[in-house]
Amino acid sequence: MKIVTMLKDVVRSLVKRPFTRPYPREKQPAPERLRGKLHYNPEKCTGCCLCSMECPANALELITLDKKEKRFVMRYHLDRCTYCAQCVQNCRFGCLEMSPAEWELAAASKEPFTIYYGNEEDVATVLAKHTGTDAEPPG
């Protein structure tokens, strides 16, 4: 390559906008069907455990506080989840969904990877009983 041609290329590349997107400064909307973070709504949950039993990554634990009263807490291990959506398919009551908007899930510590879903009081009860995130759920 001639030196003049090379210099022209260098100058051109200095003034041209880059082809790559300036992420994370500018974010593109994620596709609607993207499988992001899993969410659990306890309202219609029956406690059948189909979601947790069939999870290939052992990422879900349903903690039953009172089956009659339908008091359940879902412990979701985000760091184990493979985003296969099998749990979403298995739940016949529509309690589980994956958010396409929540996909930037990296963290510098382990704490944000263990998520408790359920009503506030029930989650507080579970957390009070179990100090470590790897503790066994109550009976």
Tell me the window of 12-20, 22-30, 75-83, 110-118 that interacts with ligand SF4 (CB under 6 A).
75-83
Q: Is the peptide bond before 31 cis (omega within 30 degrees of 0)?
A: no
Question: Is 65 an interacting residue with respect to ligand SF4 (CB under 6 A)?
Answer: no
Per CB under 6 A, the list member of 30, 48, 64, 97 interacting with ligand SF4 is 48
Nearest-5° angle of CA 10, CA 12, CA 16? 125
Of residues 83 and 113, the one with the C-beta less far from ligand SF4: 83
The answer to whether residues 115 and 102 touch, using CB atoms and an 8 Å cutoff, is: no
Residue 63 engages ligand SF4 in binding (rule: CB under 6 A) = no
Handedness of CA 76, 112, 57, 83 (dihedral sign): positive
| Residue 43, token pair as written in the block | 């309202």
Q: Which residues bind ligand SF4 (CB under 6 A)?
A: 38, 45-51, 55-57, 59-60, 62, 81-87, 90-91, 93, 95-96
